[in-house]
Amino acid sequence: MTDATGADESAPTQPAADRASNRSQRPRSEAFKAFVMSGWALRPDLGIEPSRAVPFTAERRARLSERFPGTRLVVPAGPLKTRSNDTDYRFRPHSAFAHLTGLGTDHEPDAVLVLHPVPDGEGDPAADGTPSHHHAVLYVRPLAPRDNEEFYADARYGEFWVGARPTLEDVTTLTGIEARHVTELRDAIAKDVGTDGVRILVVTGADETIDTLVEAIRAEAGVEGTEEASDDALVEATSELRLVKDALEIEQLREAVARTIEGFEEVVRALPRAVAHRRGERVIETTFDAHARLEGNAVGYETIAAAGEHATTLHWITNDGEVRRGELVLLDAGVEVNSLYTADVTRTLPVDGEFTEVQRKIYTAVLDAADAAFEIARPGTRFRDIHAAAMKVIAARLEEWGLLPVSAAEALSPEGQQHRRWMVHGTSHHLGLDVHDCAQARRELYLDGVLEPGMVFTIEPGLYFKADDLTVPEEFRGIGVRIEDDVLVTQDGNENLSAALPRRPEYVEAWMARLRG
């Protein structure tokens, strides 16, 4: 029997989940399968060598182990994420996973790091040889043999589609961590849970499938509802572990900043093209993003290329506006290197290469606020005091210009804060694997924390006068300025990692003139 279109109504209905493959015309004959799986030379050695990160990640895992003896710790890399229909975004592992394994770029979707509790003295050693309380195992989806249909039929994981994946031996060599097949994961997580007092904690939010798996194992062991709240403690710990960077992390951040500065130089050279294009902001964005992809892994966050009035929108990433002569362009951008560490730098540039008198006035106020923050960014200072130092300058300058409805002192009080109308964001955030790194750390260690050598964060005050702000002079309206640098706390002060990018207005002008010939 057929319907009005001539289709056979008695034919079985194709499940909706299978319909994404309707475009596929892959042969299904046994003859094809036999032929496609045969006649291949031995795979070449991928040339995997131990990563430079191996001793550093061992130390990081040992520090985490100290906080959770006797507890099984589950840290997923996360799955591939669907962009649309049957296409995926380029993979990026969860930052906690990357930090503890050293795997960057697009390694390894669906992988899970598990720290298994072991008797005292039997754990993996830290960098100094001291045994930890855990043995680490990486559960991964390894390269499939060529007599497996995954080889040619799996568009997500098959070698024909995405290239050769590392073997278990490759993963162990690269990371220094024992690697096992992901199919062993369930039994490994469930071992001795409940019966021998073993608890499971998972970094939630990284992989919903793993979250569900852990919940099911807890339920089977009769410990459901008793562990979930403690998962937050593991998420918190993996975030706090990154508050103070080790030597390799600092090296990677220096690399990210250096590549970012090169990207800013490329943008300055491209400004004439930006002015000539109807969507000049896109010229700026794509110039920087192309550089990031060529010289690093990608951008660390969506590039903000905000010209004119758009600079007063803090996270302007539409980047579809014109770039006009006589105006400013605010570029907030960072290169993420292959290890996934990212820079985060902002400069506000005069499109013509020279600041007007009003632009320079506002720019200098922001620069003075940044300099005040730099002055106190040293060991022993509270993190929150960096912001306070910058705000003291901002409030004083706004009072001097007659913009505050109260005195600067009143505005700076907790009951006031009127100066924040023109700078609603904070002055600093930690920086590392995430552009806003360590975000799950406890307040007492982050906002109320005391600066230590090895901490890396931004200093980024700004002033933003929207075009329709009737409380400011007309010549201020439509001007947004932010200056952002990446700062390393040293033993006796700080180092501006992005200092090679000019900050003072006269230096910015000279730098732009040199780049534009």
Q: How confident is residue 377, by pLDDT bands cut at 50, 70 and 90? A: very high
Q: Which residues have CB under 8 Å from 486's CB, separation 6+?
A: 253, 257, 343, 344, 345, 431, 456, 457, 458, 496, 497, 498
Contact by Cβ (8 Å): 331, 304: yes
Quick one: tokens of 387?
A: 């912001």
Quick one: tokens of 274?
A: 């930006």
Mean pLDDT for the chain overall? 94
| pLDDT value of residue 22 | 58
| Angle (nearest 5°) at CA 405 between 403 and 406 | 115
Alpha helices (H) along 197-227: 208-221
Domains along the chain with CATH numbers: 54-240 (3.40.350.10), 247-515 (3.90.230.10)
**Using CA atoms, how far apart are residues 193 and 86, in angstroms rounded to an integer?**
37
Hey, what amino acid is at 250? I
Q: Which residues have CB under 8 Å from 331's CB, separation 6+?
A: 264, 267, 284, 288, 303, 304, 305, 306, 346, 347, 348, 349
Quick one: tokens of 130?
A: 């001291």
Quick one: which of 63, 72, 102, 93 has its CA closest to 237?
63
| pLDDT value of residue 489 | 98
Q: What percentage of the chain reaches a pLDDT higher than 70? A: 94
Please give the model's pTM, rounded to 2 decimal places. Answer: 0.94
Q: In 10 A of CB 439, how many CB atoms?
A: 13
| Angle (nearest 5°) at CA 515 between 510 and 517 | 95
Contact by Cβ (8 Å): 246, 453: no
Quick one: tokens of 209?
A: 């499938």
164-191 residue pLDDT tens: 889 999 999 999 999 999 999 999 999 9
289-333 residue pLDDT tens: 999 999 999 999 999 999 999 999 999 999 999 999 999 999 999
DSSP assignment letter at 48: -
The alpha carbons of the chain give a radius of gyration, in whole angstroms, of 27
pLDDT at 23 over 80: no
Q: How many Å from the N-terminal Cα to the C-terminal Cα in the chain?
A: 77
220-253 residue pLDDT tens: 988 866 555 689 999 999 999 999 999 999 999 9
Contact by Cβ (8 Å): 365, 393: yes
pLDDT at 127 over 90: no
Please state the three-class secondary structure of 300-328 as a single string: CCCCEEEEHHHHHCCCCCCCCCCCCCCCE
pLDDT at 3 over 60: no
**Using CA atoms, how far apart are residues 240 and 329, in angstroms rounded to an integer?**
35
**Using CA atoms, how far apart are residues 504 and 44, in angstroms rounded to an integer?**
54
DSSP assignment letter at 267: H
Helices (H) and strands (E) in the chain, counts: 15, 17
Q: Which residues have CB under 8 Å from 435's CB, separation 6+?
A: 300, 301, 334, 342, 344, 429
Kindly report whether the peptide bond that precedes residue 108 is cis, defined as omega within 30 degrees of 0. Answer: yes
276-289 residue pLDDT tens: 999 999 999 999 99
Beta-bridged to residue 330, according to DSSP, are 306, 348
Q: How confident is residue 15, by pLDDT bands cut at 50, 70 and 90? A: confident
pLDDT at 10 over 70: no
Buried (b) or exposed (e) across 287-311, using 16+ Cβ within 10 A?
bbbebbeebbbbbbbbbbbbbbbbb
Quick one: tokens of 55?
A: 């001793």
Q: Which residues have CB under 8 Å from 341's CB, separation 6+?
A: 249, 252, 253, 255, 256, 432, 433
